[in-house]
Amino acid sequence: MSEFRDPEHSVRVEVRAYVDEVETWLRDQAEAGGLSRPGEVATQIRLLVAGCFEMAFATSSTASWADGRAAAIAILAGRLGTTPEEFEKRIASGTEDDRSPSP
């Protein structure tokens, strides 16, 4: 994207629209899951995913995704008032309650 400096260039416009769409989806999921401050959660997860993509590209490795997943679990567990370990157990068992978003 750095090669397209003009903020109104069609590439930048499309990328910005896509980023906004992803953040809206994340916010909707966080809201549906009853998380506090869903917009903040969406921004944190979006930035986390972007960082994982960047690190995977920079290192030619997928290792960053495991760390990114752990960070996302910590964010979500914290918002639900549980521990990452308990949240992982809920994921593994497929258990949902009124506070957890559907996968």
| Tens-place pLDDT, residues 59-91 | 999 999 999 999 999 999 999 999 999 999 988
The pLDDT of residue 8 is 87
Q: pTM for the complete prediction?
A: 0.76
Distance CA 93, CA 78 (A): 19
Residue 38 near residue 30 (C-beta atoms within 8 A): yes
Sign of CA dihedral 73, 77, 83, 89: negative
Distance CA 67, CA 73 (A): 10
Is the pLDDT at 103 greater than 50? The verdict is: no
Among candidate residues 26, 28, 3, the one with its CA nearest the CA of residue 15? 3
